[in-house]
């Protein structure tokens, strides 16, 4: 019904047109009085959920302070865009990573490297704040990765936690499950005291 | 001589006021639209975005002036000026308060309507001179649309003229001292509605903005303009829009009539014009646009007969009341 | 029945010159990178030639060089607007070839993810379609921002679940990678209740609106025969009267356990496709509620979590799996040769088949209708060009 072709139905169509117009304009008016949903980032910090896949970083062991990375190169092999390059340094008791470079500008943030890491060395942070004018700053070397690990808050996901979450339940993994504190496979979908309660902003209404 | 100097001075002042209004009306529209879309709009430039129009103006002035190689240079360069002049000239006849205006002609409304449709010339010059298929297509559509909608626009604007019995703007306002024409039973509301629809269409605003239609023609006839020339075209468009809002406030909403002392009249006038502008903006941000053939169908098959019949009805009413001013 | 590849309408204007206009790859409403060469007579389009390939990123070759463990994260980049269903197509194909079981909890989680993704994708569709029709500076932008506002809430849900907002890497061979975090199902219920109310607002803005109806009714009519001949899928074919949905025709991932309707309209025009998708919104909400209510306990994957790049090996064989994506039938054909990588991966993109309808239905319409029709076809060029 673009325009009435005759006076038959003209009034009815006009009334319908007016009613539709008023309804549409009413919706916009109602939204005019709602609070804007804009979050003034970066002035207002944005709460990140627990599993946020942000910047990558290397970690130190909590007790001994040693680097977690054993240079096994599993992350290098699994990375789909092949942004990780690791050289292993053999030691007496354990191996280390001699060099560890990660090209963050090509990283897909798929978390597969975190998934495979046997020692929870590489993790992702709850921040993506690494905008830079020079791409070379996003070629992260080992020192930079360790520094990032101390600078931001780490996400929940580490290699062991992810694998525990995904693995079909085995009885011997009882302690590991409780320690990981994740939504364990054999447990309920919403365990009580876990750090996985995300804090996303409520819908604005 | 002194009278000429006074007029020139008045014109200069009005021009500057119009420039100021146009720049800040863009900010008003952006904030208003943003709130309707659950967002904030300009915020960082100046407190709550108040310096945003200044920043935009500076940016446009600093931009490189690019002229397409194959463009018709004279037509291309003159088009923004030819577009701007009628859009600003209409303010010459609007009295902002009793006695406060550049030239309160006794054919004021006629001058306004005639000059405001001259913008088509500049528009088509822009589309043609750009040597760009998109621009040409949009200019052709625009000419089509503006010509079609100027007729109902004129008829709707003539209804208060018939009611007041004069083309002089201050006389029309004075005749509304008793009752604003929009409140006039049936005829007033319908005329105001027709005026608004025709105004939205004659200014190429959504839902009738087929000429720019960014998703198809990417800015239409303005596509090849950048920098200051683009600024002139934008300026002309918004000036025309504000001018039409002022005309609507004057013809239907009683101009500067309002409670309080007489010198407050200019403020009331401004508020009423802004109210009409906000309604047009509200419509703009609520609807999708319609196709050009449907736009033309609405104009010729619906709006033109409607306003014509309404004008005749108004004439009958005035004659039945014995002629003279209806107030 | 023999349909012509390109329907050129002779309008017989006589002496009127034809204009060839390029709606080029860079265009506000090309929905991606798409080039349409339009031949115009006045305002009417008489021929359209579609040129694609601007977003070709060698997905099928990547499928041969990346292992089964690596590729699901990449699979989301084909239909990047509805990534969950794209990944699902790939993992379902591999699971079919390798006869790999998927635990029930994983199947339900896949259903929840796919249906939430459908809602999010349709939000984007509605927003960008109205944006095309109403202009970036106009009513279209208003509907667009409302839809994006709602889509952001659903993306927040995905962020809680996987950590990512657009390209998830949620699926893995044998199940899914992430289980439900604490408080997630409460949040999902709140969000979809909220979105359901907002849907009423969109309909209030658009239904019965003469401007909208006049742009969409009778525009871009795909007859039932044409739809079946050309082989379009998804809301396009359901808008033309064919009751076909992969979730019903060949149920996968426990869809047979859910109660939902398949919306079908017969008019075949843009408005019919709009109605189909609006109804799909509500059906998806229903499915999510049912799935959340009946989420079974159990493991989320039948295979241990990924520990090395060559962990999954699939014996020789081939198989094709298809899923009902937001745009239609997405299929993946995998030929396995016993190693950790497929020998061949072939994607069947829903938008690729849907785009081939354009030369049939656009001629005869005005230029302004081209964007309305393209929006109602809803292509995503990651799927088209792979």
For C61-83, what is the mean pLDDT?
A: 91
Asked if B38 lies within 8 A of A37 by C-beta distance, the reply is yes
Q: Please state, for a pLDDT cut of 90, what percent of chain C lies above it.
A: 40
| Structural tokens at position C107 | 């199947």
User: In Å, how far from its chain's centre is CA A86?
Assistant: 24
Judge contact between A108 and A80, C-beta under 8 A.
yes
Q: Which chains, if any, share at least 3 CB pairs under 8 A with chain A?
A: B, C
- Which residues lie across from A84 on neighbouring strands? A102
Q: How far apart are CA A28 and CA C141, in angstroms?
A: 12
Indicate the CATH number for domain C59-385: 1.10.645.10
Asked if B286 lies within 8 A of C136 by C-beta distance, the reply is no
Look at strands C329-336 and C342-348 and give their pairing. Answer: antiparallel
Closest CA–CA distance from residue C5 to any residue of chain A (Å): 32
Is the confidence at residue A198, as pLDDT, over 50? no
Asked if B43 lies within 8 A of A27 by C-beta distance, the reply is no
Q: How many CB pairs under 8 A join A and B?
A: 47
CB count in 10 Å sphere of residue B14 = 19
pLDDT for res A84: 93
Convert the pLDDT of each residue in C144-177 to its tens digit: 888 888 999 999 999 999 988 999 989 989 889 9
Residue of A nearest to C305 (CA): A163
> Looking at A105-119, B106-120, B213-227, C16-30, which range is the least confident one?
B213-227
| Residue numbers in A near C345 (CB within 8 A) | none
Residue identified by tokens 């365990």 is A191
Is the confidence at residue A188, as pLDDT, over 80? no
Asked if the C-beta of A30 comes within 8 angstroms of chain B's C-beta atoms, the answer is no
CB within 8 Å of A9: residues ≥ 6 apart: none
Q: How far apart are CA B190 and CA C129, in angstroms?
A: 33
Q: Is C298 exposed, middle or buried (0-12, 13-18, 19+ CB in 10 A)?
A: middle
pLDDT for res C375: 86
Asked if C306 lies within 8 A of A115 by C-beta distance, the reply is yes
CA dihedral for A108, A110, A116, A121, sign (positive or negative): positive
Is the confidence at residue A2, as pLDDT, over 50? no
Asked if the C-beta of C196 comes within 8 angstroms of chain A's C-beta atoms, the answer is no
Is the confidence at residue C117, as pLDDT, over 90? yes
Q: State which of A177-191, B122-136, B235-249, C26-40 shows the largest mean pLDDT.
A: B235-249
Q: How far apart are CA C329 and CA C353, in angstroms?
A: 9
Length of chain C, in residues = 386
Give residue limits of the domains in chain C: 3-51, 59-385
State the first-to-last Cα distance of chain C, in angstroms, to the nearest integer. Answer: 30
Asked if C215 lies within 8 A of B286 by C-beta distance, the reply is no
Q: How far apart are CA C340 and CA B255, in angstroms?
A: 80
| Residue numbers in C near A1 (CB within 8 A) | 210, 213-214
Q: How far apart are CA B108 and CA B88, in angstroms?
A: 15
> Looking at B170-179, C98-107, C157-166, C281-290, which range is the least confident one?
B170-179
Residue B308: left (phi > 0), alpha (psi -120 to 50), or beta? Answer: alpha
Answer whether 0.90 is exceeded by the pTM: no
Strands (E), C19-176: 19-23, 35-41, 44-51, 171-172, 175-176
Facing B206 at nearest CB: one of C139, C368, C369: C139
pLDDT for res A200: 36
Question: Complex ipTM, two decimals?
Answer: 0.81
Q: Which of C136-168 are b and which e, b meaning 16 or more Cβ less than 10 Å from the residue's Cβ? A: ebbbbbbbbbbbbbbbbbbbbbbbbbbbbbebb
Asked if A169 lies within 8 A of C302 by C-beta distance, the reply is no
Closest CA to A161 of A148, A172, A145, A173: A173
Judge contact between B307 and B198, C-beta under 8 A.
yes
pLDDT band at C119 (very low <50, low <70, confident <90, very high): very high
| Structural tokens at position B174 | 């004075």
Judge contact between B35 and B285, C-beta under 8 A.
no
Q: Is A169 exposed, middle or buried (0-12, 13-18, 19+ CB in 10 A)?
A: middle
DSSP-assigned letter for residue A5 = S
Asked if A24 lies within 8 A of C213 by C-beta distance, the reply is no
Phi, psi of C48 (to 5 degrees): -135, 135
CB within 8 Å of A177: residues ≥ 6 apart: A164, A184, A185, A186, A187
Convert the pLDDT of each residue in B194-211 to its tens digit: 999 888 888 777 677 766
Length of chain B, in residues = 327
Is the confidence at residue C302, as pLDDT, over 90? no
CA angle B124, B129, B131 (to 5 degrees): 115
Residue of A nearest to B298 (CA): A3
pLDDT band at C41 (very low <50, low <70, confident <90, very high): confident
- Does A198 or C367 have the greater pLDDT score? C367
Give residue limits of the domains in chain B: 67-320
Written as one string, the DSSP assignment of A142-162 is HHHHHHHHHHSPBPS--HHHH
Closest CA to B111 of B44, B76, B174, B161: B161
CA dihedral B300, B301, B303, B309 (to 10 degrees): 110
Look at strands C317-324 and C329-336 and give their pairing. Answer: antiparallel
- Which residues lie across from C36 on neighbouring strands? C23, C50
Is the confidence at residue C232, as pLDDT, over 50? yes
| Residue numbers in C near A155 (CB within 8 A) | 163
pLDDT for res C6: 46
Judge contact between B305 and A44, C-beta under 8 A.
no
CB count in 10 Å sphere of residue B177 = 10
Convert the pLDDT of each residue in C313-356 to its tens digit: 888 999 999 999 999 999 999 999 988 999 999 999 999 999 99
| Residue numbers in C near A163 (CB within 8 A) | 304-307
pLDDT for res C348: 92
Facing C179 at nearest CB: one of A21, A23, A165: A165
Residue of B nearest to A30 (CA): B36
| Structural tokens at position B168 | 């002089």
pLDDT for res C137: 54
CA angle C17, C22, C23 (to 5 degrees): 130
Mean pLDDT, rounded, of chain C:
86
Task: Encode chain B (327 residues) as per-residue pLDDT tens digits.
Answer: 688 888 888 888 888 988 899 999 989 888 888 888 888 888 888 888 889 999 988 998 898 888 888 888 889 899 999 999 999 999 888 888 777 777 788 888 999 999 988 988 998 888 888 887 777 877 888 888 888 888 999 999 999 998 888 888 888 888 888 788 888 888 888 899 899 988 888 877 767 776 665 545 566 777 788 888 888 988 998 999 999 999 999 888 888 888 878 778 888 889 999 999 999 888 888 777 777 777 788 888 888 988 999 999 989 988 888 766 666
pLDDT for res C331: 92
Judge contact between C208 and A19, C-beta under 8 A.
yes
Residue of B nearest to A204 (CA): B38
Asked if the C-beta of B6 comes within 8 angstroms of chain C's C-beta atoms, the answer is no
Q: How far apart are CA B298 and CA B292, in angstroms?
A: 10
Phi, psi of C8 (to 5 degrees): -105, 125
């Amino acid at each position: 019904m673009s325009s009435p072709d005759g006076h038959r139905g003209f009034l009815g169509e006009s009334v319908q047109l007016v009613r539709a117009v008023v309804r549409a304009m009413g919706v916009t008016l109602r939204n005019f009085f709602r609070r804007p949903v804009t979050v003034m980032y970066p002035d207002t910090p944005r709460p990140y959920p627990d599993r946020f896949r942000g910047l990558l970083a290397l970690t130190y062991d909590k007790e001994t302070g040693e680097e977690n990375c054993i240079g096994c190169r599993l992350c290098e092999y699994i990375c789909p865009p092949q942004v990780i390059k690791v050289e292993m340094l053999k030691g007496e008791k354990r191996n280390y990573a001699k060099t560890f470079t990660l090209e963050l500008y090509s990283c897909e943030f798929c978390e597969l490297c975190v998934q495979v890491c046997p020692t929870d060395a590489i993790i992702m942070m709850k921040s993506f704040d690494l905008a830079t004018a020079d791409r070379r700053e996003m070629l992260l070397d080992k020192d930079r990765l360790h520094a990032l690990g101390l600078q931001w808050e780490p996400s929940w996901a580490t290699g062991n936690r992810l694998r525990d979450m995904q693995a079909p339940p085995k009885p011997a993994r009882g302690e590991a499950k409780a320690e990981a504190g994740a939504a364990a496979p054999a447990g309920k979908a919403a365990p009580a005291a876990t750090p996985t309660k995300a804090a996303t902003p409520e819908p604005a209404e | 001589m002194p009278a000429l100097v006074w007029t020139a001075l008045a014109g200069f002042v009005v021009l500057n006021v119009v420039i100021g209004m146009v720049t800040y009306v863009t900010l008003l529209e952006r904030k208003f639209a943003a709130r309707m879309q659950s967002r904030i709009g300009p915020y960082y430039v100046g407190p709550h975005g108040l310096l945003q129009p200044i920043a935009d103006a500076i940016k446009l002035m600093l931009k490189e002036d690019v002229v397409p190689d194959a463009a018709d240079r004279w037509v291309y360069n003159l088009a923004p000026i030819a577009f701007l002049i009628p859009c600003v000239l209409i303010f010459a006849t609007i009295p902002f308060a009793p006695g406060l205006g550049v030239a309160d002609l006794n054919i004021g409304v006629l001058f306004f309507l005639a000059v405001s449709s001259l913008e088509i010339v500049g528009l088509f010059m822009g589309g043609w001179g750009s040597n760009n298929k998109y621009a040409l297509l949009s200019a052709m559509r625009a000419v089509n649309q503006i010509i079609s909608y100027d007729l109902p626009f004129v008829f709707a604007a003539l209804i208060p003229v018939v009611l007041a019995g004069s083309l002089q703007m201050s006389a029309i306002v004075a005749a509304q001292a008793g009752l604003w024409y929009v409140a006039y039973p049936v005829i007033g509301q319908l005329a105001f509605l027709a005026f608004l629809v025709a105004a939205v269409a004659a200014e190429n605003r959504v839902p009738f903005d087929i000429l720019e239609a960014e998703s198809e023609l990417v800015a239409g006839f303005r596509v090849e303009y950048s920098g200051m020339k683009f600024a002139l075209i934008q300026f002309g468009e918004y000036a025309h829009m504000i001018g039409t809002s002022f005309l609507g406030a004057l013809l239907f909403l009683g101009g500067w009539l309002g409670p309080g002392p007489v010198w407050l009249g200019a403020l009331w006038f401004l508020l009423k014009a802004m109210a009409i502008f906000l309604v047009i903006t509200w419509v703009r941000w609520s609807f999708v646009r319609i196709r050009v053939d449907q736009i033309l169908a609405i104009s010729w098959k619906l709006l033109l007969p409607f306003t014509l019949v309404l004008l005749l009805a108004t004439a009958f009413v005035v004659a039945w009341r014995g002629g003279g001013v209806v107030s | 029945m023999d349909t012509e590849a390109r329907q050129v309408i002779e309008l017989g204007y006589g002496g009127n010159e034809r204009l060839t206009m390029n709606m080029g790859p860079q265009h506000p409403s090309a929905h991606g990178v798409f080039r349409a060469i339009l031949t115009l007579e006045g305002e009417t389009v008489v021929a359209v030639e579609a040129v694609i390939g601007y977003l070709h990123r060698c997905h099928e070759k990547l499928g041969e060089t990346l292992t089964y463990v690596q590729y699901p994260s990449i699979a989301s980049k084909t239909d990047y607007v509805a990534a969950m269903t794209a990944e699902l197509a790939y993992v379902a194909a591999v699971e079919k070839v390798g006869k790999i079981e998927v635990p029930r909890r994983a199947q339900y989680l896949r259903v929840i993810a796919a249906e939430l993704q459908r809602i999010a994708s349709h939000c984007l569709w509605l927003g960008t379609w109205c944006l095309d029709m109403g202009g970036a500076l106009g009513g279209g932008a208003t509907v667009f921002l409302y839809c994006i506002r709602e889509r952001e809430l659903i993306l927040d849900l995905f962020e809680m679940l996987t950590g990512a907002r657009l390209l998830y890497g949620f699926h893995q061979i044998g199940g899914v990678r992430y289980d439900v975090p604490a408080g997630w199902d409460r949040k999902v219920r709140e969000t979809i209740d909220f979105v359901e109310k907002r849907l009423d607002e969109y309909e209030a803005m658009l239904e019965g609106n003469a401007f909208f109806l006049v742009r969409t009714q009778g525009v871009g009519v795909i007859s039932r025969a044409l739809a079946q001949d050309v082989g379009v899928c998804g809301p396009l074919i359901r808008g033309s009267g064919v009751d076909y949905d992969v979730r019903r025709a060949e149920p996968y991932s426990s869809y047979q356990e859910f109660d939902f309707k398949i919306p079908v309209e017969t008019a075949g025009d843009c408005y019919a496709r709009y109605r189909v998708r609006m109804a799909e919104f509500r059906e998806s909400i229903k499915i999510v509620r049912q799935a959340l209510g009946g989420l079974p306990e159990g493991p989320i994957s039948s295979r241990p979590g990924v520990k090395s790049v060559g962990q999954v090996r699939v014996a020789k064989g081939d198989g094709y799996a298809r899923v009902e994506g937001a745009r239609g039938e997405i299929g993946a054909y995998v030929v396995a040769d016993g190693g950790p990588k497929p020998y061949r991966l072939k994607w069947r993109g829903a938008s690729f088949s849907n785009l081939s309808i354009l030369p049939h239905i656009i001629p005869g319409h005005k230029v302004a209708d081209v964007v309305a029709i393209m929006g109602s076809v809803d292509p995503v060029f990651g799927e088209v060009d792979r």
